[in-house]
Structure 1
Amino acid sequence: MKTKPVLFGAAVVAVVAIASVVFVQSRDRVSETDSFTAPGLEPLTIEQARAEFWRLTPALLLVVYDAFGQTDEDTIYDTLASVTHGDALEYLYLERIGAMAGGGLEEADQTIHEIKLLTTQVARDGARLAIDASWQVIGTVGHAEHLHVRGNTYSADLSVAPVDGAWRITDFELLDVNRDAAGETFLAPDADG
């Protein structure tokens, strides 16, 4: 008699699991003609995003760097959530909050001037784009009374997919950071005059 409730419970769990997979898969299906928004770009279909990943990638990364320049936790999260999702959102949010806990960027003291893709490869898997990218971020970082021009180079494996009507980074694996091109130091402009 005791095996019937166990078997019944296992059957219910299996049915619920299958139903949730079917529901999630059908909800995430998109057609080739669906288009999705991206910051600063016209909405892009999956194929347009694949063809123009060299524009889409920096557009998404620029918003990530904007979030990293913020100091309010809610603003950081909301800004990241506008262009990331899932594992990428968690990873990048924790990276930024970790930098704040370590004493980094207590004030909004960075300005990004350009994100330049150096090398990229893209592969399409359904609606998801797997992007192997390296890029250089050129900007200024302030420290007390002087500014540094930075030209740091990064490489990462990114997954970009449509989520809730917009292109978002859904996976982010940082592979390398090169800070050798640190740039020059110059005095900050006088705030009084």
Structure 2
Amino acid sequence: MTFLYVEPYEVRHEVLTRVRDLETWMDIGLRGDEYIEIDELETLKQRVGEFFLTRNSVRIDGQLGKPILDRTNYVKVGLTGIQLIEQPERLEISTAIVGVIITYLTDGIPTEVLVDWDLFTEQIQRVPATATDPAGPLPTFLTPDDNVHKWTNYLKNYQLPTVQEVTIAGSLGVLKIPLVSLFCLALLLPIGWQFSKRARNGGTSTAPIVAAVALVVIGALSVPYAQVSIARPVAIAGNLDDPQATALLETLLKNVYRAFDFRAEEDVYDKLAISVMGDLLADVYLQNRRSFAVQAAGGAQAKVKEISVRNATAERQDETPLTYALRGQWTATGTVGHWGHVHTRQNLYDAIVTIQAVDGTWKITKLEIIEENRIDPLAATLSTQEQAPAAGSGGA
């Protein structure tokens, strides 16, 4: 079986094969004819991985891809799908299955991917193949006469995950300026000066008084209507209300999790640096790697697809430059798909995220995880569905 995964910034070609079938194309080098002994497992696994690095070429947008051997694992098929064999054990050659994952780095989402499948025998004339992209899986079969597994980008309105600076402008709320009222106030000054000058000279006139009263009335009546909104300057920044704190925290968290969509470690760090201060980069990187490693998928990293901030409050800190401590709760849901099976990981966090104004943008300077819990997304969904009827069962 062959699987093609097309994701932002990477393409993965994954294969499931029986060890017995590999004997047609390579010398598996085992001592016996029936079993793979425990001390032979690692050597055979490495040889299988190296074998697939040289077969089934992959072309991405017309260019031959550079394969990276991601991992090779012994697996078994269970009731819940593909399961890794985590503890070394003696395996029967006739039933042993090896899973291989080969990765190709890309700059974004390609236009076309072609896999030239060349592993057929007289007994194996039909190979199941599945291509999976952000829209979902598309299964097919490969045969000796139709052996090219082709994926074409038909994604519509797909937004490539990006990481952008979170600017301070606009995040502190707006300042409303009553322009007409200020204009009327400005006109009052010369009128008042003229009135006082005439009074000193003994002259009297009601015109300045009438004009002043008219300007006061016009200025007062126009306050609710003739206003211009501008971003609140940092110099007069106050406290953030809960909706502002929630929106700001969610934007920064999305930036952090989006950084891990990139494959190369240096790219991840570069993207993290947009929203995280240098001293905190390594801690955030390692914390995410630990939290979203899926052991059932061989330690593969789940990519976070959804962020939901449940609540957040902001407390201004007596520091310069402008600093807030955001106390919030949020859920992060990630998925990883291998060999046709999708693993989902959802974590619930309660944390204090300290942010600071740096060169016109917000950056996270401190992260204090108060509590982190792994939750079952399916159980949470079922719980919500079960509670929904109860909410409306007030009684007939």
TM-score relative to the length of structure 1 = 0.61
Asked if 1:88 is matched to 2:280, the reply is yes
Asked if 1:172 is matched to 2:367, the reply is yes
Is residue 152–residue 182 contact of structure 1 (8 Å, CA) maintained in 2?
A: no
Distance 1:60 1:176 in 2: 19
1:44-77 CA distance string (max 9 Å, x none): 3454882311101011101111123333111110
Could you say which residue in structure 2 is the equivalent of 1:105?
Answer: 300
Distance 2:339 2:304 in 1: 15
Could you say which residue in structure 1 is the equivalent of 2:166?
Answer: 38
1:125-148 CA distance string (max 9 Å, x none): 141111111101234332332113
1:21-54 CA distance string (max 9 Å, x none): xxxxxxxxxxxxxxxx517x96434548823111
The one-letter amino acid of 2:276's match is T
Distance 1:120 1:97 in 2: 24
The one-letter amino acid of 1:146's match is H
Is residue 303–residue 335 contact of structure 2 (8 Å, CA) maintained in 1?
A: yes
Is residue 257–residue 304 contact of structure 2 (8 Å, CA) maintained in 1?
A: no
Aligned mate of 1:73, from 248, 265, 273: 265
Is residue 64–residue 80 contact of structure 1 (8 Å, CA) maintained in 2?
A: yes
The one-letter amino acid of 1:120's match is A
1:79-123 CA distance string (max 9 Å, x none): 1100010433231134356788x97436xx52413x211232210
Is residue 256–residue 275 contact of structure 2 (8 Å, CA) maintained in 1?
A: yes
The one-letter amino acid of 2:246's match is W
Is residue 119–residue 133 contact of structure 1 (8 Å, CA) maintained in 2?
A: yes
Unaligned 5+ runs, structure 2: 1-164, 173-233, 380-396
Could you say which residue in structure 2 is the equivalent of 1:22?
Answer: none
Could you say which residue in structure 2 is the equivalent of 1:181?
Answer: 376
The one-letter amino acid of 2:376's match is A
Distance 1:154 1:169 in 2: 16
Structure 1 ranges of 4+ moved more than 4 A: 96-100
Distance 1:49 1:85 in 2: 22
Matches of residues 1-193 of structure 1 in structure 2 within 5 Å? 38=166, 43-45=170-172, 46=234, 47=237, 50-51=240-241, 52-96=244-288, 104-105=299-300, 110-113=303-306, 115-126=307-318, 127-183=322-378
Unaligned 5+ runs, structure 1: 1-36, 185-193
Distance 2:334 2:288 in 1: 18
Judging changes above 3 Å, is the alpha-carbon distance between structure 1 residues 48 and 148 closer, same or farther for their aligned structure 2 residues? farther
Aligned residues: 143
Distance 1:90 1:111 in 2: 19
Please report how far the alpha carbon of residue 169 of structure 1 lies from its aligned counterpart in structure 2 after TM superposition: 0.7
Judging changes above 3 Å, is the alpha-carbon distance between structure 1 residues 146 and 136 closer, same or farther for their aligned structure 2 residues? same
Computing the radius of gyration from Cα coordinates, the structure with the larger value is 2
Is residue 156–residue 172 contact of structure 1 (8 Å, CA) maintained in 2?
A: yes
Structure 1, 54-63 or 134-143: larger mean CA deviation: 134-143
SS of equivalent to 1:38: coil
TM-score relative to the length of structure 2 = 0.32
Could you say which residue in structure 1 is the equivalent of 2:130?
Answer: none
The structure with the largest helix share of the pair is: 1
Q: What's the Cα RMSD here?
A: 3.0
Distance 1:84 1:42 in 2: 18
Percent identity over the alignment is 30
Distance 1:91 1:84 in 2: 10
Distance 2:248 2:324 in 1: 11
Is residue 239–residue 314 contact of structure 2 (8 Å, CA) maintained in 1?
A: no
